[in-house]
Amino acid sequence: MLLLSLTLFFSSWNTFVYAGSQSKGENCTVGNNRLQFGTYQFHSDCDAQTYCSSQGTCELKGCRKDQYPFGYPPDAYIPPKCPAGQFCPDESDACQPLLPVSSPCQLNRDDQCEPPPNWQELADGSQYGHNVNGSVCLNNVCMWANVTVGQSCEVENTAYVAYAGTNEFADIVSRGNCQTGSYCDSQSLVCIQTKQLAETCDADKECSSFNCLSKGVCGSSADSPKHFGIWVYLMVGVGIFGGMFATLITLFLIHRRQRDKEREKRLQYWLEQNALRQSIMQMKEIARTSILSLGNGNSNRSSRAVSEESSTPMIQHSVHKSSGLRQQCLTDEHGREYD
């Protein structure tokens, strides 16, 4: 129950199934424990909170290997992590003591192996995870990563399924038991010193930065920060302030154009109103002349009436809305009324 056999490991290449859904107390089959094809994630008939026991039922897990395990609701019981000197297997049934050298181990579970006496010197302090406390699990066997440059070494090549858009391809991860700063060559099976930046390479493991570029040379680490020259910051600053000023100038020109349009509308309205007023004044003058001609131009009364009419405002403001023109009735010297 503790370890996966090589038969189950290789059978996962031809089988792909969904994750288990059986909960606590439901039936399961230990023989269905496997590693998923392509991802090599452990799979069983039981869900994320249980494991398949030897009695064929799903039981709550007795340990965990991750700090933040997947598949647990906020109020669910979370099993504890194993103390120092023990490990939690993929089945997560119970903590087990560390395994000595040459013991069978699970895929990529370097933490299951017992560290060497000088593990402080052999431990990989980088983020690449070449080993755990100087121990590695290669080809399902516990080893120590203590092979020096020029000595024979063991190598493990694992093909993972990767995707680029809709295209599927194999991503081969190669690991060895060489000391940190060297790698195990897959052809000669000899430890070789890792290469520095700009040196030719064929795989990531050959570079000290663990990043072999597509053009065949070692590049900077994938997580290394990108540094730019001072001129880049200057150009960015000029672009930002230039964009701000360009925006302000554009808004000013747009608003000025709108103001000019509104000013032109008001001017046109004033010209129309002034023309209308001039027309009304001309009509009024013609009417006055006509009235004077009808009264022979000698009647003081008519003159006084015309004078009073000429002094009458052109537009009378009243409570009622009207056109502003007022009709007046005048009386001549013979007592006749006319408009």
pTM of the model: 0.61
For residue 6, the model assigns a pLDDT of: 36
Say how far apart CA 58 and CA 44 lie, in whole Å. Answer: 10
Selected residue with higher pLDDT from 93 and 313: 93
Percent of the chain with pLDDT over 70: 81
| Residue in 179, 221, 189 with CA at minimum distance from that of residue 204 | 221
pLDDT higher than 60, residue 309: no
pLDDT higher than 80, residue 325: no
- The dihedral over CA atoms of 206, 160, 167, 216, expressed in degrees to the nearest 10, equals 0
Which pLDDT tens digit goes with each residue over 197-223? 999 999 999 999 999 998 999 998 888
| Stretch 149-163: mean pLDDT | 93
Say how far apart CA 337 and CA 302 lie, in whole Å. Answer: 12
pLDDT higher than 90, residue 18: no
| Stretch 20-45: mean pLDDT | 90
Which pLDDT tens digit goes with each residue over 181-199? 899 999 999 999 999 999 9
Q: Residue 4 — pLDDT band, cuts 50, 70, 90? A: very low
For residue 296, the model assigns a pLDDT of: 55
Say how far apart CA 207 and CA 221 lie, in whole Å. Answer: 9
